[in-house]
Amino acid sequence: MQFVFASNNKNKILELQSMLPESITILSLESIGCFEDIPETADTIEGNAIQKANYVTEKFGYDCFADDTGLEVDALNGDPGVFSARYAGEQRNADDNMNKLLEALVVQNERKAQFKTVIALNLKGKQYLFTGIAKGEITLEKIGNQGFGYDPIFQPEGFLQTFAQLSLDVKNKISHRGKATQQLIIFLKETE
């Protein structure tokens, strides 16, 4: 089984491919000749995932899945949420985003947060959604050098380490993306 994963984020592609069974191959946007930036203009995480999956299916004709992820911080009324990648500006710089978030929380005792990933799958003319949530809290400083995005400041529930300190195997089992991907894998196995 072969799908396009609507992303050019090499870290995300590697993380996802490592979770999928060998019978499922991921094609990147680059490998199908899609070099344009796919619009992400929806006002929800679900909406962005759907928008990206539909773009690839409509323009290139492939079965496709796309994800969108947001970090939702309780003390910030769910921000940065759908704007997580661009929280500190259009340059989409992870360090800038983390610094802005840590600054916004400097006077906050409440640091609860959750990562939310939604995967939209377009398969044989139908669309399916899978959602994964990882609850935790925002640390006081960046810790660890694994992973990407906000991983160095997110400590998942039940762990003393941040996502950026955990091995990929452990992170894949407990992360938002891991949970959504597991639902996707179960679904794909049932439809094989």
Q: Which residues are paired to 129 by β-bridges? A: 120
| Beta carbons within 8 Å of 12's beta carbon, 6+ residues apart | 5, 67, 148, 177
Q: Is the pLDDT of residue 5 over 70?
A: yes
Q: What are 77-112's pLDDT values in tens digits?
A: 999 999 999 999 988 899 999 999 999 999 988 999
At 147 the pLDDT is 82
Q: Does 128 carry a binding-site annotation?
A: no
d(CA 115, CA 186): 21
Q: Is the pLDDT of residue 12 over 90?
A: no
At 24 the pLDDT is 84
Q: Domain coordinates of the chain in residue numbers?
A: 2-191
Q: Does 7 carry a binding-site annotation?
A: yes
Q: Does 171 carry a binding-site annotation?
A: yes
Q: What are 25-76's pLDDT values in tens digits?
A: 889 999 999 998 898 899 999 999 999 999 999 999 999 999 999 999 999 9
Q: Does 189 carry a binding-site annotation?
A: no
Would you state the structure tokens that stand for residue 14, as one six-digit string? Answer: 């590697």
At 30 the pLDDT is 92
d(CA 3, CA 139): 36
Residue of 68, 74, 95, 169 with catalytic role: 68
Q: Does 147 carry a binding-site annotation?
A: no
Q: Does 172 carry a binding-site annotation?
A: no
d(CA 96, CA 94): 5
Q: What are 160-172's pLDDT values in tens digits?
A: 999 999 998 899 8
Q: What are 123-133's pLDDT values in tens digits?
A: 999 999 999 99
H or E segment to which residue 68 belongs: strand 64-73
Instruction: Tell me the C-alpha to C-alpha distance, in Å, between residue 28 and each of 4, 31, 167.
Output: 6, 5, 24
The overall pTM is greater than 0.85 = yes
At 87 the pLDDT is 96
| Of 137 and 109, the one with more pLDDT | 137
Determine contact, residues 164/147, Cβ cutoff 8 Å: yes
d(CA 4, CA 34): 11
At 22 the pLDDT is 83
At 99 the pLDDT is 97
| Beta carbons within 8 Å of 184's beta carbon, 6+ residues apart | 65, 119, 121, 130
Residue 190's pLDDT band (cuts 50, 70, 90)? confident
68 is an active site residue: yes
In the CATH hierarchy, which top-level class contains the domain 2-191? alpha beta
